[in-house]
A and B are shown apart, each in its own frame.
Chain A
Amino acid sequence: MDSIPILKIGSALLVTIQVDMHDQLATRLQDDLTERIVQHRARGVLIDISALEIVDSFIGRMLANIANVSRLLDADTVVVGMRPEVAITLVELGLGLPGVKTALNAERGLALIGGVSAAGEAADDADDD
């Protein structure tokens, strides 16, 4: 079973969704992310959906789930790169992505994650252990 690669950028994790996700892949992604957030004490999760032509309620729920779990693990979730036609459709559908922050691209997304600025200066983490 394939999986979606998770990259580490500073204290954030970056996930790029490029394929049509089916149920198993979505579950696998959520499990992997949860593990990695804890493993790296990640402050944020960036989900790049710029390759997605369609976002339906299934994907929407997945994104909201990731955001909910991440928050419990003290990490922000930012969805970046949503296409205009997808945004228009989601608004019409009434799907609001609660608890999910959004940004135009990964660079801006990083700036939204608490403690990390776009210029790369990491905030001082008082307790490292």
Chain B
Amino acid sequence: MRVDEAEVEGEILAASSKDQALVRLFAQQEREILADWVSTLNLGETKMTSQEAESQGRAVLHALGKAVAHGNHGDMRSAEYADVRDVLQAFSRNRALQGFSPTETATFILSLKRGLLGQIRKAAQSEDAFDLLWRVNQLIDQLGLFTVETYQKTREELIARQSKEIEELSTPVVKLWDGIVALPLIGTLDSGRTQVVMQNLLETIVQTEAEIAIIDITGVPMVDTLTAQHLLKTVSAARLMGADCIISGIRPQIAQTIVQLGVELNVVSKATLADALALALKRTGRVVSKLRAKSLPALQEPAAEARG
């Protein structure tokens, strides 16, 4: 990387005149740059309308012009570029949430280079032109990268939010029978979610006057110490309220993990939800008996009655 260091030093020595060229470029030619930018923009590549491109482009150029005037062209993370970051963030977030691709989003920013090319040719002598072009290139690359990063973060936030919603939807408490409810847990249980689920179960026990709650963890791939402790607390709380719990669906790996963790799961455990239900029915004094074939209720409407 010696070559780069020399280039940087060379840049610093002749900094002032080149800085001036860049500052002048943005300050004096903003309108022309915008016009060139929009006209050379392939709207198809960015999926923007020309009005959008113009108003967005104006905002970016304006902020960029102000930042460049302060003299710092190397680091867009610095304070002078706050407005630029704001404009780019807003643009990028907007595109991300609407489902545009990262390429479509970044292309808009990177295409600014094409818009500047014409002005650079007019504004500079041939040697300066090369340096000016290089600096502009570096600056806009940074903007492009920043745009993509913001886009990424926005997508990640969106996914996290959706995951949460899915998780919340996937833990309903179901009533299996009078006095028997079941909580089929699905997915991984983190601390926050487990607390919500726990409260939900206890509330439902009160509302349905359940005597037995079956917590089924067939759909839980992994249990760590915290989750096991939360499960235990849920069972204890239910017991304090007067309901008993049965845990069903513990996979062999989870059983081993629990033992290794040294957590004492002081609760009745059954291999399957079906087994747990059978036990719960017995515990609440019920017997399941078999009817004779003739007295079985029909599950389907006869065809004749189906026609209106």
List A35-87 residues whose CB lies under 8 Å from chain B: 80, 82-85, 87
Q: Which residue of A lies closest to B235 (CB)?
A: A91
**A28 CB-CB contact with B under 8 Å:** no
- Tell whether, in the assembled complex, residue A108 and residue B211 are in contact, meaning their CB atoms are under 8 Å apart: yes
Contacts of B221 in A (CB 8 A): none
B233 surroundings in chain A (CB, below 8 A): 88, 91-92
Complex Cα distance A105/B207, Å?
A: 11
Binary interface encoding of chain B residues 222-249 relative to chain A, with 1 for a CB under 8 A from any of its CBs, else 0: 0000000000010011111111000000
Assembled-state Cα–Cα distance A87/B203 (Å): 11
A97 at the interface (CB under 8 A from B): yes
CA distance A90 to B233 in the complex (A): 10
B67-98 vs A, CB cutoff 8 Å, 1 = contact: the mask equals: 00000000000000000000000000000000
* Residue interface bits A97-109, CB-to-B below 8 A is 1, else 0: 1000011110011
Cβ-defined contact, B240 with A104, below 8 A = no
Whether B35 is near chain A, meaning CB under 8 Å from some CB there, is: no
Minimum CB–CB distance for A41 against chain B, Å: 25
CB of B205 closer than 8 Å to a CB of A: yes
Partner of A87, one of B209, B210, B211, B240: B240
Give chain A nearest CB distance to B215 CB in angstroms. Answer: 15
Using a CB–CB cutoff of 8 Å, the interface residues on chain A facing chain B are 80, 82-85, 87-88, 90-92, 96-97, 102-105, 108-109
Residues of A within 8 A of B203 (CB): 84
Could you pull out 30 A-B pairs where Cβ atoms are within 8 angstroms?
A: A80-B242, A82-B240, A82-B241, A83-B206, A84-B199, A84-B203, A84-B206, A84-B237, A87-B202, A87-B237, A87-B238, A87-B240, A87-B241, A88-B199, A88-B233, A90-B237, A90-B240, A91-B236, A91-B240, A102-B240, A102-B241, A103-B242, A104-B205, A104-B210, A104-B241, A105-B209, A105-B242, A108-B209, A108-B242, A109-B242
What 12 new A-B contacts, CB under 8 Å, besides A82-B241, A92-B233, A102-B242?
A: A84-B205, A84-B206, A85-B199, A88-B198, A88-B202, A90-B237, A91-B237, A102-B240, A104-B242, A105-B242, A108-B209, A108-B211
Most A C-beta atoms less than 10 A away, residue of B233, B237, B239, B242 = B242
For chain B, the bracket of interface size reads 10 to 19
A-B complex: 6 closest residue pairs judged by Cβ atoms = A84-B202, A87-B237, A103-B242, A102-B242, A104-B242, A87-B240
Give the dominant DSSP class at B's interface.
Answer: helix
Partner of B211, one of A84, A88, A104, A109: A104
How far does the alpha carbon of A91 sit from the alpha carbon of B206 in the complex, in Å? 17
Contacting residues, chain A, for B243 (C-beta < 8 A): 104
A108 to B284, CA, bound (A): 12
Output the least CB separation between A8 and chain B (Å): 22
Tell me, rounded to whole Å, the shortest Cβ–Cβ distance linking A52 to chain B.
Answer: 13
* A104 lies within 8 A of B202 (CB): no
Q: Which residues of B contact A92 (CB under 8 A)?
A: 233
Q: How far is A80 from B240 in the complex, measured between Cα atoms in Å?
A: 9
Instruction: Encode B142-153 as 1/0 by CB contact (under 8 A) with A.
Output: 000000000000
Using Cβ atoms and an 8 Å threshold, which residues of chain A touch B241? Answer: 82, 84, 87, 102, 104
Write the B208-219 contact mask toward A (1 if CB under 8 angstroms, else 0). Answer: 011100000000
Indicate if the CB atoms of B206 and A104 lie closer than 8 Å. yes
* Alpha-carbon distance between A91 and B205 when the two chains are bound, in angstroms: 17
C-alpha spacing A84/B241, complex, angstroms:
7
- CB proximity of B245 to chain A, nearest CB, Å: 12
| CB-defined contacts of A105 to chain B, threshold 8 Å | 209, 242
